[in-house]
Structure 1
Amino acid sequence: MGDFEVKDEDLAGRIGILETRHGKLETPTFFPVINPLKTEISVKELKSMGFNNFITNSFILRKNNIIQGKIHEKFGEDMIIMTDSGAYQILEYGDIYQENRDIVSYEAEIKPDIAVFLDVPTGNADDWEEAKTTVRLTLERGKEISDIVKLNQDIIWVHPIQGGSFLDLVEYSAKEANKTEGFGMLALGSPTVLMEKYRYSTLIDSIYVAKSNVSRGVPFHLFGGGVPHIIPFAVALGVDTFDSASYIIFARDNRYLTGERTYRLEDLEYFPCSCPVCSKYSPKELLEMNKEGRTKLLAIHNLWKMKEEIGKVKQSIKEGRLFEYLQQKAYSHPALYSAFRSILKYSVYLEKYDPRVKGKVRGVLLFDSYSMQRPEIIRHLNYISSYRHKKEKAIIICGDKLTSPFSSDPKVKAIQNRNKGFELLVAIPFYGLVPVLSSESYPMSQFEMPEEVDNQTIEETLKVIEKIIKQRNYSEIRFMECEKSVLSHIMSINTSL
C-alpha cells in the first residue's frame, strides 16, 4: 500500500493517485475532520457530497472506547479513513497524558488507511529553543515506533514536520523525517496559527522549505489547511492533501467560506454561491433558524466550497493554468497578494518541476510583470540566453502588431527575404526577444497579452532585451517597425551599450 502515481503536473503541483487498502485516492484532496463525539455532519452526509475520505482522532476514539474491532466496520468499507493522534489536543490544551506507543499501537489495531503518530506541535512557539524541542521530540517519537510501523505497512504512516515559523528548524525537521524509514507520507504541522493571523507569506515559506527538502515522490499533507483560498498556493508548491475541522468550527461561529475570503453570516445580504444550501436559503433565513440547524447548513456549505476549490485547482493543473489561477486569487485579498508574491520567490523551484511538454497545448495568458516569472517565460529566457546564433548582424522587429507565429507574418517574411545575412529577432513584451526561426515553438507562438501593456512590464522587458543584446555581441543591429511600438525605447538600448 501507499504507491503514489502522478497523473498530471503544473508548476510544482500535481494530480496523483494514492493507493490505500480501501481504494484509490485522487489528489489533491481534502480530508474533512469528523469528531466521533459530535454528529453535526455524518459520514453518510459526507458521502452524499462526494467525499469518500475523512480524518478522525484516534485519541478520542481510544479514550471513549468508540471502536471495537476495525475502524471501517463502524464507518464503512467504502471510505478512506485517516486517523490523527491527539497532537491537536496537545496544541490546544497541553499534555493529554497519552503515550506515543499506546496511540500508535491502537491505530495499528483499528487499521485506518492512513495514520499519524503522536507528534509534538510547534504551534505558535516564538522561542527558537522551545521550537527546537518540539522538532527533536517529534523526530524521536517517529523513531521510537519504527517497529510498529514496519510491522503494519498495510497502513500509510505519516511523519509530521515541525518547526513553525523557524525555517531552519523546518528544514532540519523535513530532512530528518524524509530519512526515517517506513513512512509513506510526510506532513507539515502547525500551520493553523499562521493562517489564523493571515501570515500567508510565512506559511508559503514554510511549505517551500519543507517540500524542497523531502523526496518529490512522497505524498505531502498539510495539517489544518482548512480555507479554500490558500489551497491553490499550497498545491502549487507540491502539497497533495489537506485536513481541517474549519468547516464546522466556522459554522458554529456563523462564518461563511468563499473561494476568496471568510464572511460573517450577519454581514451578508446575498449568498455569492449556488450550492444546495445557498440555492435554497437566504442569509436572513439562516440567521432566523435555531443554532443547531443553522450550524449544520453552514457546515454543509463550507464543505461544498472546499470541494469546489479542489475541483478548480485540479482543472487548472489539467489545463496548465495554475499560475494564472494564482494570479486571479492574488487580487482578491491583500494576504493572498502577499502569498502570491512570496511564491514568486521560488520561481526557479516551480520551473524545475513544471512539465516542459503539456498534454494539450493551450495559449499562455499574460497579464502584468508578474507573468514574466511564470515557468514558460523563465524557460524561454534561459533558452534565448544560451541560444547560439551563427550570424554577426541582427534585425530586431518590434512585434506589437505582428501575427503569431512570427515566422508566418507577411512583414517578417518580406524583411527576411531582403536581409539574408541578418538574424531576425522579434521584440515582444514579456518574452524580450524571440528568434524568428524558433518562433513556432511553444510557448512563443501560443500566448495572449493585454492590448495595453503596463509600464512595469515594458520596463522589465527592456531590461531583458538589453541583457540579451549584450550577451550576443552583434557587430550591427537594425531596428524595424519600432517607432510606434510600446517598446519604442528599444532603439536607445543599442546606443547605450
Structure 2
Amino acid sequence: MFKLEKTSSSSKARTGILKTDHGSIKTPIFMPVGTVGSVKAVNQDDLADKVKAQIILGNTYHLYLRPGNEIMENAGGLHSFMRWDRPILTDSGGYQIFSLSDNRKLEEEGATFKSHLDGSKHLFTPENVVETQRVLGSDIIMILDECPPYPAEKSYVHESMGLTHRWAKRGREAFLTSKPKYGHSQAQFGIVQGGTFKDLRKESSEYMASLNFEGLAIGGLSVGEPNELMYEITDFNTEHLPEEKPRYLMGVGTPANLLQCVARGVDMFDCVMPTRNARNGMIFTRYGKINLRNAKWKHHHQPLDTDFPSDLCSKYKMSYLHHLFKANELLGLELASKQNLTFYLWLMSEARSRIEDDTFSDWYPGMSETVDKKI
C-alpha cells in the first residue's frame, strides 16, 4: 500500500507513494477537509482540476448524523454520493466527540453522545464506527479514539491512552472480520495518543504498531499546546513509528506547521484552516499571509502573483478581491478557498521536489518564516 521512496540526507523529511484503488497519492500530502461530503466553497471539479487535490477527508460523526447510513448506502457510498473518484479518508469522529465534552460520556463499550443537530442520543463503539466507515466506503478509515485535552494530568492521559488501545484492538478485529461494500479495498489507520508525555507516546506507538494497521496517525496534538512542543513531540513520535508505514499528523495546521513537521518525518496532514481562514478573508501565499479586507488593497489594481496557478493570485486585481469581501460576495469566498487549498497543495509538492533533489533542509527554514509573515 505504501512505498517509501526517498529520505532527506539531513532531516527526517521523506517522499513516498500511498496506493489506493481510487488512485495513488504522492507524499508528503495535504488533505482538504470535506467534513460533510463537501469542501466548503469549492466544487469537486475545481477541487480535482484546479486545486489538484489527490485525497480529501470526510467525517464519520457528521455523515452518520446527516444524511445517515441508510441514505449513504443506498447512494453507493461517499464517492458515488458526492461524485468524487479520487481517494477519501474518513476520520472516526473521536475528535468531534472530544469537543462535545458537556454532551458525551466515555465508557468501556464506547462513547455516548448527544447530536449537535437535534439532541438525540447515540453510541459510537469501535465496532460500529468501522461499520459506518464500511458504509461510507472511504479508502482509509480511522479507529475510534479518545483525544485528551491539553493540558491534562499524566494519570488522566495514561488512562485515556489505555482506553484508546483497547478500542483500537476491537476496531482492528472488526475491520479484519468485515468486508468492503462497494468493490474497492479499504485500509485502516491506528491513532497514537499519549499527550505530551514521551514515555506514553513511545508506549502507544509500539502498541499501535503491534496491531499491524496499514498506516499510523499521530493524534492528540494541535489541541492548544505551543508549536515548539508540538514539534518536539512529533519529532519524538516519528522516531518510534515504523518507517514502512505512512504517518499522518491529524489536524495540523498552518503552512509553517506543515513544513516543520515534514522535516520531522510526517507524510500526511489535514486541517480546516485553509478554507476557514479563506472565508474570513485571509489567504496564504508564498510571500506570506494577506487579509483581503485590509484597506491597503483598495487601490491595488494588480494581481498578486501572476506566476501562481490560482485565479485569485494570477487573474484578479487585489482591489477587486478586496471589494468582493467588503461587499460580502460569495465569489470572494470561492476564490480565497481555492487559493488557500492550491497553495497548501503547491507547498507539499514543492517540499516533495526539494526532498527528491536533497535541498529540502536548506529550503524549508526560510520558507517557514516567509509563509508565516503578514503582508
Q: TM-score scaled by structure 2?
A: 0.80
Match for 1:99 among 110, 124, 132?
124
* SS of match in other structure, 1:46: helix
1:68-92 CA-to-partner distances (Å, cap 9, x unmatched) read 2322222346210111111221232
* SS of match in other structure, 2:85: coil
Could you tell me how far 1:293 is from its partner in structure 2?
3.1
The separation in 2 between residues aligned to 1:206 and 1:110, in whole angstroms, is: 32
Match for 2:143 among 117, 133, 138?
117
Letter in 1 for 2:20: T
The separation in 2 between residues aligned to 1:251 and 1:333, in whole angstroms, is: 15
* SS of match in other structure, 2:149: coil
Could you tell me how far 1:128 is from its partner in structure 2?
1.7
* SS of match in other structure, 1:192: coil
Q: Please name the residue that 1:328 is paired with.
A: 366
Residues paired across the two proteins, number:
329
Unaligned runs of 5+ in 1: 336-497
1:304-342 CA-to-partner distances (Å, cap 9, x unmatched) read 11011112101111110111013323544899xxxxxxx
Could you tell me how far 1:158 is from its partner in structure 2?
0.9
Q: Please name the residue that 1:63 is paired with.
A: 65
The separation in 2 between residues aligned to 1:19 and 1:104, in whole angstroms, is: 21
- Taking structure 1 as reference, are residues 259 and 72 closer, same or farther at Cα in structure 2, changes over 3 Å only? same
Q: Is residue 201 of structure 1 aligned with residue 228 of structure 2?
A: yes
Contact 2:312 2:339 in 1 (8 A): yes
Q: Please name the residue that 1:41 is paired with.
A: 42
- Taking structure 1 as reference, are residues 157 and 37 closer, same or farther at Cα in structure 2, changes over 3 Å only? closer
Could you tell me how far 1:45 is from its partner in structure 2?
2.3
Unaligned runs of 5+ in 2: 105-112, 114-121
Could you tell me how far 1:175 is from its partner in structure 2?
1.6
Q: Please name the residue that 2:26 is paired with.
A: 26
Q: Please name the residue that 1:5 is paired with.
A: 3
- Taking structure 1 as reference, are residues 230 and 40 closer, same or farther at Cα in structure 2, changes over 3 Å only? same
Could you tell me how far 1:294 is from its partner in structure 2?
2.5
The separation in 2 between residues aligned to 1:227 and 1:148, in whole angstroms, is: 35
Q: For the aligned residues, what is the CA RMSD?
A: 2.4
1:152-174 CA-to-partner distances (Å, cap 9, x unmatched) read 48311011111232233222211
Higher relative contact order (CA 8 A, sep 6+): 2
1:442-469 CA-to-partner distances (Å, cap 9, x unmatched) read xxxxxxxxxxxxxxxxxxxxxxxxxxxx
**1:252-401 to 2 correspondence within 5 Å?**
252-259=279-286, 262-267=289-294, 269=297, 272-273=304-305, 274=308, 275-279=310-314, 280-282=316-318, 283-290=321-328, 292-329=330-367, 331-332=369-370
Contact 1:13 1:237 in 2 (8 A): yes
Q: Please name the residue that 1:397 is paired with.
A: none
Could you tell me how far 1:291 is from its partner in structure 2?
5.2
The separation in 2 between residues aligned to 1:167 and 1:333, in whole angstroms, is: 30
The separation in 2 between residues aligned to 1:226 and 1:334, in whole angstroms, is: 12
Could you tell me how far 1:186 is from its partner in structure 2?
0.4
Letter in 1 for 2:55: N
Letter in 1 for 2:196: S
The separation in 1 between residues aligned to 2:372 and 2:313, in whole angstroms, is: 27
Contact 1:52 1:78 in 2 (8 A): no
- Taking structure 1 as reference, are residues 258 and 166 closer, same or farther at Cα in structure 2, changes over 3 Å only? farther
Q: Please name the residue that 1:132 is paired with.
A: 158
Contact 1:16 1:26 in 2 (8 A): yes
Could you tell me how far 1:8 is from its partner in structure 2?
2.4
Letter in 2 for 1:287: F
- State, as a whole percentage, how many aligned pairs show the same letter: 22
The separation in 2 between residues aligned to 1:114 and 1:158, in whole angstroms, is: 7
- Taking structure 1 as reference, are residues 42 and 158 closer, same or farther at Cα in structure 2, changes over 3 Å only? same
Could you tell me how far 1:213 is from its partner in structure 2?
0.9
